[in-house]
Amino acid sequence: MKPAERVVVVGQGYVGLPLAMAAVAAGFDVVGFDIDVERTKNLAMGTSFTTDVTDGELLAALATNRYCATDRPEACGDFDIAVITVPTPLHDGAPDLTYIVDASRTLSGYLRPGSTIILESTTYPGTTEDMMVPLLEAGSGLRAGADFFVGYSPERIDPGNQMWRFGNTPKIVSGIDEASLENVARFYGSIVDTVIPVEATKVAELAKLIENTFRHVNIALVNELAVIADELNIDIWAAIDAAASKPFGYMKFTPGPGVGGHCLPIDPSYLSWTVRRRVGRPFRFVELANDINEHMPHYVVGRIRAALNKQGISTSRSRLLLLGMSYKRNTNDIRESPACKVAKLLVADGADVHAVDPYATLDVFGEGVTRADLTAQEVQAADLVVVLTDHDDINYDMVIAEATAVLDTRHRLQGPRVEHL
Ligand SMILES: NC(=O)c1ccc[n+]([C@@H]2O[C@H](COP(=O)([O-])OP(=O)(O)OC[C@H]3O[C@@H](n4cnc5c(N)ncnc54)[C@H](O)[C@@H]3O)[C@@H](O)[C@H]2O)c1
């Protein structure tokens, strides 16, 4: 594909911004369109919100004059390629596709013959063909396949992962027909190392849900094992490490206070919702995994209460220091973070909850939670320090030296006063 073709990325979030940056680096002319005025203003000034794109990278993209962040839909005009990376939340357990509907309607007004539209948002199988295509056709008066091209390519971004970045992670690509697939594959082939073409958009949509459901279910498995192992008085971490010595047929997952972020608590439910609606049966694995993972913050709070009891302190009279509030190590994303759920439950119990997270950019971790810096005084003042997310940028040696007691849900610390999940 020749450089300086015009690409519109609809949604400049955790998925859309890295994609826009990669497209700029590959020589495309890129419009990052987002309805969030504050976000586009900050991006236009070179201030990124995600650890996956540094301010330096953003400023370099702006300096090429081939990237602009805007909330003006008119800027979407004349695109060759448009990629939709808008949220796909759940509402009362059902997929909420209103963002995809809105984005499709916006783009349909600017569609012209020969252009390609790709959906990247995670969604249930059938969304691209059954929902997006009719909206694009109705809004443009053009025909998909004949006049313009449509595809689906799921995102596999792993926030904070330094090894597998956008460019070297293989990307699944699909199209509603051969010409669409060819266009989609050519576009991504120019910005990532490897594309994996699949035969239908439904296959690509399902592949993404399988990936996240696999992770969700396996995390639930080790979480339930952690609860059981504690009752059996067996060190689950040692057992998992021993199992992981098997060089084949095993993949290591570790327990924690629950699952968070935009994917794991949500995507598997897209699959179970589809199965229920189309097949008329529950997808039992997903429902069980949801149950177990959603219970983990409550379980952690139970362990906190028990740890305080050992010191003769009730939770309502305790002062607690929570370490790591984002849902994932070395990232600033606190969306759906189980750490915030733990904090909320503790506040409801009447505890004096302080929380430290050097990565999280948001000021608040929940009502009643005091955001603190990690100091020796802060650690000494706590009846219990609870490690919820084990960021690298935390002085654990100081924590071990100064803490009265520690409950470590990530198995990061060792010592006589440290208890593990
Ligand atoms: N974050 C991840 O790690 C990740 C990984 C893989 C897939 N996904 C999927 O990618 C999609 C996007 O996720 P995200 O994490 O980037 O979300 P996000 O909330 O970070 O970003 C989405 C952006 O889209 C904007 N937006 C909403 N409606 C719009 C519209 N009609 N027009 C223009 N902009 C609009 C929002 O303002 C927001 O800035 C979701 O379906 C998610 O499940 C996310």
pLDDT in tens, 326-338: 999 998 888 889 9
Q: pTM of whole model > 0.85?
A: yes
Per DSSP (E only), the strands in 136-207 are: 149-152, 171-175, 195-197
Query: Which helix (H) or strand (E) is 343 found in, with range?
Result: helix 338-348
The pLDDT confidence band at residue 51, using thresholds 50, 70 and 90, is confident
Q: Count of CB atoms within 10 A of residue 367's CB?
A: 9
Return the pLDDT at 1.
47
- Integer Cα distance of 202 and 195 in angstroms: 17
pLDDT tens for residues 175-207? 999 999 999 999 999 999 999 999 999 999 999
Residue 32 pairs with which residues in a beta bridge? 9, 69
Centre of ligand 1 to C-alpha 32, Å, is 12
Question: Residue with the nearest Cα to atom 36 of ligand 1?
Answer: 11
Q: Which of 245-259, 270-284, 300-314 has the lowest mean pLDDT?
A: 270-284
Q: Which residue has the higher pLDDT, 152 or 94?
A: 152
The phi, psi pair for 408, rounded to 5°, reads: -110, 110
Q: Count of CB atoms within 10 A of residue 125's CB?
A: 22
Amino acid (one-letter) located at 269: S
- Which residue numbers are catalytic? 263
Return the pLDDT at 361.
76
Mean pLDDT in residue range 159-173: 91
Question: Residue with the nearest Cα to atom 24 of ligand 1?
Answer: 11
Q: Which of 43-47, 275-279, 290-294, 376-380 has the lowest mean pLDDT?
A: 275-279
Sign of CA dihedral 361, 366, 372, 373: negative
**Between the CA of residue 56 and those of 23, 59, 62, 306, 379, what are the distances in Å?**
16, 5, 10, 46, 34
Query: Which helix (H) or strand (E) is 385 found in, with range?
Result: strand 384-387
The pLDDT confidence band at residue 354, using thresholds 50, 70 and 90, is very high
The pLDDT confidence band at residue 4, using thresholds 50, 70 and 90, is low
The pLDDT confidence band at residue 50, using thresholds 50, 70 and 90, is confident
Which residue matches tokens 């349909």?
108
**Contact of 412 with 421, CB cutoff 8 Å:** no
Residue 94 pairs with which residues in a beta bridge? 91
Q: Is 221 helix (H, G, I), strand (E, B) or coil?
A: helix
Mean pLDDT in residue range 122-140: 97
> In the predicted model, what is the mean pLDDT of the chain?
95
Mean pLDDT in residue range 368-396: 96
- Short-list 203, 241, 170, CA closest to 411: 241
Q: How many residues does the chain have?
A: 421
Return the pLDDT at 110.
96
Sign of CA dihedral 207, 213, 215, 221: negative
Query: Which helix (H) or strand (E) is 186 found in, with range?
Result: helix 178-189
Mean pLDDT in residue range 381-399: 97
Amino acid (one-letter) located at 243: A
The pLDDT confidence band at residue 81, using thresholds 50, 70 and 90, is very high
Centre of ligand 1 to C-alpha 262, Å, is 9
Centre of ligand 1 to C-alpha 83, Å, is 11
Residues with CB under 6 A from ligand 1: 10-16, 33-36, 39, 85-88, 99, 102-103, 106, 121-122, 155, 157, 159, 262-263
Most informative mutation of 86, 156, 266 for ligand 1 (most atoms within 8 A of CB): 86
Return the pLDDT at 3.
47
- Integer Cα distance of 275 and 289 in angstroms: 16
